[in-house]
Amino acid sequence: MTATGLGYTVIHPLPAKLANVTASGLDWAVGIVFIGAFATVGALLAWKRPGNPIGWLLSAIGLTFTVAAFGGFLAHFPRTLTLANWLGCLFLLGIGLCVFVVLLFPTGHLPSRRWRPVAWAAGAGLAGWILGCALAPTIITYSPTIRNPVGVTGPAGDIFKLMAIGAGVLIAAAGLAAVPSLAFRYRRRYGGARPAEMAALRGRRDRGGLARLGADRVHQPAERDQQRGRRARPGGHRHRRAAVPAV
């Protein structure tokens, strides 16, 4: 879908007044590589580790950006121009899904229960963004302002517009709050030790394992001989003649 939009835009450039709807050729090329990377890595992870939600999230991000970028192709046709403008809100939806990837990386679980509010904030922001953009009186992601054909007018429409704006801010705040979770997860796993200290501890552990392995190999023959001796003792009296008492 993205490649189709790029090829059609190169052959049939948009008018100058619609230049803000779609991107340049370089932006399209970068978008294809970006979307392809998300979709490929997500599909591989979902196939190899279906129980880990990160693969499914990456696939969803690639699909979301693909549909949003397809709006550049729809902008070439007057009947689908409004839909192309409305699909621009999906870009922030894909960015919001990246927040969950950061929070769940790499195990697929939150680092601890303390990070649940960040996940709840990101989820609430995504829901508010989609609902607000869908029912706002104007298309928020397009400038100059144009009417939203499915938007709500009056005070209720203003509420949905404020909801979309607040949700966008909430998604950005949740994304910033999710970044420290990577450092928290790293420090929790390695106990805050420095790389040099971790290398030294790893070396000691490896040397200790080799020493135990060598000791086991040394003691195994002795233990085997002892076991053989125990097995031979009970049957040894059978071959001996009973002592005859002297008369």
> Is 205 part of a structural domain of the chain?
no
Residue 143 has pLDDT above 80, yes or no: no
Whether residue 125 is contained in a domain is answered as yes
pTM score: 0.69
Higher-confidence position of 25 and 100: 100
Looking at residues 134-148, what average pLDDT do you find? 84
Please check the confidence at residue 166 and state whether its pLDDT lies above 90: yes
Of the pLDDT bands very low, low, confident and very high (cuts 50, 70, 90), residue 150 is: confident
Residue 178 has pLDDT above 60, yes or no: yes
In a domain, residue 181? The reply is yes
Q: Is 231 a domain residue?
A: no
Find all residues with CB under 8 Å of 174, minimum gap 6, and list them.
96, 99, 118, 119, 121, 122, 125
- Report pLDDT for 195: 55
Q: Which whole number is the average pLDDT over 36-57?
A: 93
Q: Which domain holds residue 51?
A: 2-190
Lowest-confidence region among 6-10, 32-36, 85-89, 188-192: 6-10
Q: Is residue 196 part of a domain?
A: no
Asked, for residue 70, whether it belongs to a domain, the answer is yes
**Position 17 pLDDT exceeds 90:** no
The better pLDDT of the pair 24, 103 is held by 103
Residue 227 is assigned to a structural domain of this protein: no
Band (pLDDT 50/70/90 cuts) for residue 69 is: confident
For residue 196, count other CB atoms closer than 10 A to its CB.
8
Count of domains forming the chain:
1
Does 222 have pLDDT greater than 70? no
- Report which of residues 12 and 50 the model is more confident about: 50
pLDDT surpassing 70 at residue 199: no
